[in-house]
Amino acid sequence: MTLDSLGNWRKTHFTKDITSALVGKEIILGGWVRNFRDLGGLKFISLQDKYGERQITIKKGVVSDDVFDKTKVGYQYCIMVKGIVKIFKKAPGGIEIIPSEVKILNKTPEKLPIDMTGETISELDLRLNNRALDLRSLKNQAVFDIRGEMFRSIRRFLFDHDFTEVTTPKIIGTATEGGTELFPIMFFEREAFLTQSAQLYKEQLSGVYERVFEISDCFRAEKHRTKRHLCEILILDVEMAFVSMDDILTILEKLVYNVIKDIREHKMGPLKFIEMENTTILPEIPFPRFQYEEIIELINNKYGFNIEFGEDISTEAYRKLGKDFPGYYYINN
């Protein structure tokens, strides 16, 4: 098969834009073949883009012979379709596209290395080795959709509260949080490190801009393999001047509340798809605030732990606390 070039074609719409208002009009869609059925003289292509799917209907005698012959496509082929929008109640969304021209931009092997239907869950290593395909799964799309809304919500909230977004260096000459858990690298024959935190930079910036934040990667050479120990983390760093600890806690709980509110308002579809609509709930604010001393006393007396003052609270102790306090809460020192 000879592949086509994009040429002067450009997408005129996304799948979400194809509504009854466009019936009878010519449009150009681009995306990937999520499903394909060949019934002899009738073919159906489910074309997927970032927003969803639309049905392309190819009927012999209705479309040209060239288009009919060319639409021998496979799963996840990358194609573009020029055609007319029509009402068809049996099609997903009640709309279909009758193609006048088709371009095959790229093809895939007959047997894909991972299952794209979601019926069979592939091992993580196999998925990561075929990440370009894996990212097209509807579950992954939902996760990234929610994640994008989270970033938008964080930025909107902080900008509305007079914060300035900053970016800080990720290659540093000395440790920012002690000398352990550092990733050393060679920087032009000198030893340097990947940053553990933006803390020192934030402190300097807050002396100028008063309220600053950064969403960025930090790196810590954690030798454990748990959900609480990650070598690379994406972190929201916030710094404020002329405030008390209570002021900071208040702004952060309002931030969390607004982020969840925005996600539920704008991304309920993706939340339902990954079955998290009942766990991503709006918290009550203000969050409960406890002193470290009273939490240590509670853990030792109620749960039978023996944690000394000044020691870290163990993971198991946090699990016990989570049963008594299932929502958000603060532990202050």
- Residue 207's domain is classified under what CATH number? 3.30.930.10
For 20-38, write each residue's pLDDT tens digit.
Answer: 999 999 999 999 999 999 9
For 105-159, write each residue's pLDDT tens digit.
Answer: 999 998 999 988 777 888 999 999 999 999 999 899 999 999 999 999 999 999 9
Amino acid at 113: P
For residues 296 and 332, state if they share a domain. yes
C-alpha to C-alpha distance for 40 and 60, rounded to whole angstroms: 9
| Per-residue pLDDT, 221 | 87
Averaged pLDDT, 240-254: 97
23-27, 108-112, 248-252, 260-264: least confidently modelled range: 108-112
Give the angle 320-237-176 at the CA atoms, nearest 5°: 95
| Per-residue pLDDT, 179 | 58
pLDDT at 265 over 80: yes
For residues 276 and 144, state if they share a domain. yes
For residues 172 and 199, state if they share a domain. yes
For residues 211 and 230, state if they share a domain. yes
Domains in the chain, number: 3
C-alpha to C-alpha distance for 259 and 144, rounded to whole angstroms: 15
For 51-104, write each residue's pLDDT tens digit.
Answer: 999 999 999 999 999 999 999 999 999 999 999 999 999 998 899 999 999 999
For residues 90 and 108, state if they share a domain. yes
Identify the domain containing residue 319 by its residue range.
Answer: 288-333
pTM, to two decimals: 0.89
Looking up residue 57, the CATH number of its domain turns out to be: 2.40.50.140
**Closest CA relative to residue 45, chosen from 36, 86, 98:** 36
Query: Which two structure tokens, joined as six digits, stand for 75?
Result: 């799963």
Strands 95-106 and 52-59: parallel
Q: Is residue 11 within 8 Å of residue 80, measured between CB atoms?
A: yes
Q: What is the maximum span of the chain, computed from C-alpha positions, in angstroms?
A: 82
With a pLDDT cut of 90, the percent of the chain lying above it is 85
pLDDT at 224 over 90: no
DSSP state of 189: T
**Of the residues 98, 133, 168, which one is the last residue of a structural domain?**
133
